Structure 1
Amino acid sequence: MTTTLAPPVPIGKAAVGALGILALSTGALESVVSPTIPLLERELDMSQSEGALLSIVLLITGALITPLAGKFGDRYGGKKVLIRLMAVVSLGGTVSALAPNLPVLLVGQVLQGAMIGALPLSFIVVRKHLPAGESKVAIGVVSGLFVGGSMVGMLSAGPVAEQLSRHWMFALPTIAVVGSTLLVNRLMPADPPGRPDDVGIDWPGLLLLSGMLTTLMLVLALAPEAGSAPLVLVALVVLLAVFVTGWVRVERRAAAPMIDLNMLARPAIWKACALTFVICLGTTMAVYLVPQLLDERGDGYGFRASATEIGLYLLPGAVAATLAGPLGGLGDRRFGSRAVVNTGVVMMAVGLLAVAAVHTEIWHLVVGKVLIALANGLCVTAMMTSTATAVDPNDTGIATSLILVSRVLGSAVGGQLGGALLTAGTPSGSEVAAESAYVTGFVIAGIVVLSALFVTRTMSKGVKA
């Protein structure tokens, strides 16, 4: 007997606004670490590599949770899974707020990483309740507010940490997450489940993906010190290859794979994933290196900025990122995804290479960061909206999850690579990284981003509405 599902209830601006407020709150909670990494390094006696690890551990969890959240959302309904996921995020924010040391703070960040899975769940809800044209704009707004939440987080983290304590910079956005979750629960109608619950979860695939990501981060963390432990690094590289091989084999054979390699093999999907990875790698290297350079106390470089000042200097970039989300959705709708991505790639490469060449004044870093943030928002939003509206509605969660996993992986590699370069560029007995380490990081990021143009040449122009 076939069960006929009731049609979804149309949603209005209030419900979309509630999703936007939740995205803003989670974005703020995600971003408080970035401008305060130098402060946290001093308070918790962390090395620069440990600081880089702290900046990306949340993203590693996101890479694991996001496809699972997307799959559950497609199967059981986006709103139902979203509310439960936000309970985990709220717990993570509470642990981070109460953390007395680095290990406990890392646990809190791991739990907070579940927030990244909120985006595909929001997209599932929007896609099921709105027509294609309106859903593109709504997805752009939600994406933009998630990115724009960094404006609130970056601006408030420094002053809150310095005037109150580092504990409150986690506590305040966590309270906002709890409140906005209750608002979504009240205003957003339940969306009907998609596929029947007849296939189990791909736990072997999830475990292998966890091992793969953890090993990759260890390889990047130990690379600067490879000379002192070369055999350990080689062993980790071999282990990484084993995890990758095993994961691919398991996903190919799984009845309901964690990450659908068949979907990933579609040209539109793998190109979007490759572009997102490259763009987010370049973005995150800048996100990590710029605050470090602002805080740096080198001879003839660096600005000795406080956490509050760093937040203010990063604010224009956060504003640009906020605007980029809706602009990316509108640009994709009017000009097609390829035009938006090409514009973003060129803009980001110019920003990265310009900062590498000229960084003697604070405004050099501010302008460069604005270009990078705007470009990242344009590119990722264009990839997200085009992918979300190019697949069957029942595949929205897993398709957008692939883009978000690529975003997370690119961000994780970029952040850890930035930390590794600074660690390798710090002379023995010194706590100050060489200026050349910053220049090298920005140049590498710029060249990697430019390589995206080879992929965009083969993309379709995208659907214009």
Structure 2
Amino acid sequence: MSHTPAPSAPSAASAADPRRETVVVFALSLAAMVVSMMQTLPVPILGLIRADLGVSTADVSWVTTATLLSAAVFTPLLGRFGDQHGKKPTLVAVLGVMVAGSVVAALATSLPLLILGRVLQGAATAIFPLALSVLREEVRPQKLPGAMSLVSGTLAFGSGLALVATGLLTSGSGADYRNAFWMATGFAALALLAVALLVPATRHKTGGRTDLLGAFTLGLTLLLLLLPISQGNEWGWTSGRTLGAFAGAAVMAAVWVRTELKVREPLVDMKMFVHRPVLMANLAGVLVGFGMFANFLGVSYLVQMPQALTGYGFDASILRASVQFLLPGAIVSLLASPIGGMLVRHRGPRTALALAAGLGALGFAWLGLDHGHTVSVIGAGIVVGAAVSFGYAAMPAVIMASVPHHQSGIANGINSISRSTGSAIGSAVVTTILASQTLDHLPAGVPPLPAESGFTLTFWIGAAAFALVAAIAGLGLRPRPATRTTPANVPAAAPEKVTAV
């Protein structure tokens, strides 16, 4: 059955004044970048936090887990709320919450307070789907793919930038991890001002009730799914808590689907949710998110390995690992964003996703074959960074071409969750592999260190993930000739462009 949304015309002001479009894209790109920074910000400083607050490794892992779980609960709810009651007010409110959460995290003197700050920061993940919905209103159709690609590209750039900036702020003796959260506060305040002053008020509002029951059941489903993924390595993958949480997630997923089928105004339209292009974009989101985190964590851990003890690695400090090995890929991911937009516009999102898959598989295969030379690690990271950027450019274009205007916020919210879920899985897989494959012969008193085979396996799994993305682009998004149509929201595409079917 054909499903082609009606085109959404941007405002007369934006159509007449390209500078206004540029300003809006800048403000939303800054906001998206800051949100993505919040996800990876504490990764390099977990050891400092653990030592300063006197908590265990298992307990400090909640500093990252809390943000992931918060994002899973609030992103779909706030995405739908913005569609119904106004995107700009919702954006401003969410950014205000992120500023407050950053201040709480910077001032926290105990782990519970720090976790509270991280929960508030995680709620701001809803900015991304809201930003894409605003772009759909404010940007001319011929410029929309490039604008969406630039905003999407800042996600990969922001994640890498946070690692680098945190490394810079916490290098040297006597480093204070709170400096990283004060930096986050400054960026969050800047994003809040940019959106409040530069983004126009929302014109399209659907109104209606907020499906609180659907939001609750979906949030609980995601909590029960992501909690064991992120904590499984600490709990044990076959422990009662882990298996029980996965079973609970399956039960709650069934309850959520039943709820959404019965509610008059559901949070998520099930027909939209299982619509083939949307479903394929979400599966691609899981895989690309997995690849991004597998690259960040795998490379970061690899280059910090002490070569004298392990026989591999680069003896890199946190600062060197961030600046020399991770920053180049983050910069390339940002530079690749407009190229991804041009590719989406002229060749369609299917081509962009296929190129992302090829580059990602190539980059990880390069790491799997040669991770003993600096040029290989940096070069492969650059290739993977471009792949992630192209993937992030393609997925929103598929979504926007496949759903009606009033569902764009929630549809992109679900896609955002799919990427976060993939990142959580990537983190869990990398951690589990490196913890399970350790060196046998180490001097007394030296903590367990991963064997090189663990990194090799991690990189080949990353290559396999992008190979699956290639299958999605080649088969899952292949147009069906009998119902081929031209999507309204991705103009000027080549014949192979994704169609809504």
State if a TM-score over 0.5 links the two structures: yes
Judged with a 3 Å threshold, the aligned counterparts in structure 2 of structure 1 residues 97 and 275 are, in CA distance, closer, same or farther, namely: same
Q: Corresponding residue for 2:496?
A: none
Of the three residues 286, 291, 294, the one matched with 2:300 is 291
How far off its partner does 1:272 sit?
Answer: 0.9
CA distance in 2, matches of 1:415, 1:387: 26
Q: Corresponding residue for 2:352?
A: 340
Q: Corresponding residue for 2:249?
A: 240
CA distance in 2, matches of 1:171, 1:70: 27
Asked if 1:179 corresponds to 2:190, the answer is yes
Question: Once structures 1 and 2 are overlaid, which stretch shifts more, 317-326 or 12-21?
Answer: 12-21
Q: Matched residues, percent identical?
A: 26
**In 1, are the aligned partners of 2:366 and 2:380 still within 8 Å (CA)?**
yes
Deviations 1:250-279 (A, max 9, x none): 222233333332101111111111111112
Question: Once structures 1 and 2 are overlaid, which stretch shifts more, 340-349 or 418-427?
Answer: 418-427
* 1:175-324 equivalences in 2 (<5 Å): 175-196=186-207, 198-199=208-209, 201-220=210-229, 223-224=232-233, 230-297=239-306, 298-312=309-323, 313-324=325-336
* 1:16-165 equivalences in 2 (<5 Å): 16-37=25-46, 40=49, 54-162=63-171, 165=176
Judged with a 3 Å threshold, the aligned counterparts in structure 2 of structure 1 residues 291 and 314 are, in CA distance, closer, same or farther, namely: same
CA distance in 1, matches of 2:191, 2:227: 36
Counterpart amino acid of residue 400 in structure 1: N
**In 2, are the aligned partners of 1:60 and 1:409 still within 8 Å (CA)?**
no
Q: Corresponding residue for 1:424?
A: 436
Judged with a 3 Å threshold, the aligned counterparts in structure 2 of structure 1 residues 442 and 151 are, in CA distance, closer, same or farther, namely: closer
Counterpart amino acid of residue 166 in structure 1: Y
Question: Once structures 1 and 2 are overlaid, which stretch shifts more, 67-76 or 215-224?
Answer: 215-224
Q: Corresponding residue for 2:6?
A: none
Normalised to the residue count of structure 2, the TM-score between the two structures is 0.83
Structure 2 unaligned spans of 5+: 1-9, 15-19, 480-486, 493-501
CA distance in 1, matches of 2:364, 2:57: 21
Judged with a 3 Å threshold, the aligned counterparts in structure 2 of structure 1 residues 382 and 286 are, in CA distance, closer, same or farther, namely: same
Of the three residues 392, 413, 423, the one matched with 1:380 is 392
What secondary structure, in the 3-state scheme, does the structure 1 residue paired with 2:371 have? coil
**In 2, are the aligned partners of 1:49 and 1:419 still within 8 Å (CA)?**
no
Asked if 1:451 corresponds to 2:473, the answer is no
Counterpart amino acid of residue 450 in structure 1: A
Judged with a 3 Å threshold, the aligned counterparts in structure 2 of structure 1 residues 437 and 184 are, in CA distance, closer, same or farther, namely: same
Judged with a 3 Å threshold, the aligned counterparts in structure 2 of structure 1 residues 40 and 435 are, in CA distance, closer, same or farther, namely: farther
Q: Corresponding residue for 1:440?
A: 457
Q: Corresponding residue for 2:5?
A: none
Normalised to the residue count of structure 1, the TM-score between the two structures is 0.89
Counterpart amino acid of residue 324 in structure 1: A
**In 2, are the aligned partners of 1:284 and 1:411 still within 8 Å (CA)?**
yes
Judged with a 3 Å threshold, the aligned counterparts in structure 2 of structure 1 residues 354 and 61 are, in CA distance, closer, same or farther, namely: same
Judged with a 3 Å threshold, the aligned counterparts in structure 2 of structure 1 residues 316 and 247 are, in CA distance, closer, same or farther, namely: same
How far off its partner does 1:344 sit?
Answer: 0.8
CA distance in 1, matches of 2:336, 2:60: 28
**In 2, are the aligned partners of 1:423 and 1:433 still within 8 Å (CA)?**
yes
**In 2, are the aligned partners of 1:348 and 1:371 still within 8 Å (CA)?**
yes
Counterpart amino acid of residue 264 in structure 2: A
Q: Corresponding residue for 1:3?
A: none
Aligned pairs, how many? 458
Counterpart amino acid of residue 346 in structure 1: G
What secondary structure, in the 3-state scheme, does the structure 2 residue paired with 1:195 have? coil
Asked if 1:326 corresponds to 2:338, the answer is yes
Counterpart amino acid of residue 437 in structure 1: G
Judged with a 3 Å threshold, the aligned counterparts in structure 2 of structure 1 residues 158 and 117 are, in CA distance, closer, same or farther, namely: same
Counterpart amino acid of residue 444 in structure 1: I
How far off its partner does 1:230 sit?
Answer: 4.1
Judged with a 3 Å threshold, the aligned counterparts in structure 2 of structure 1 residues 281 and 423 are, in CA distance, closer, same or farther, namely: same
**In 1, are the aligned partners of 2:278 and 2:402 still within 8 Å (CA)?**
no
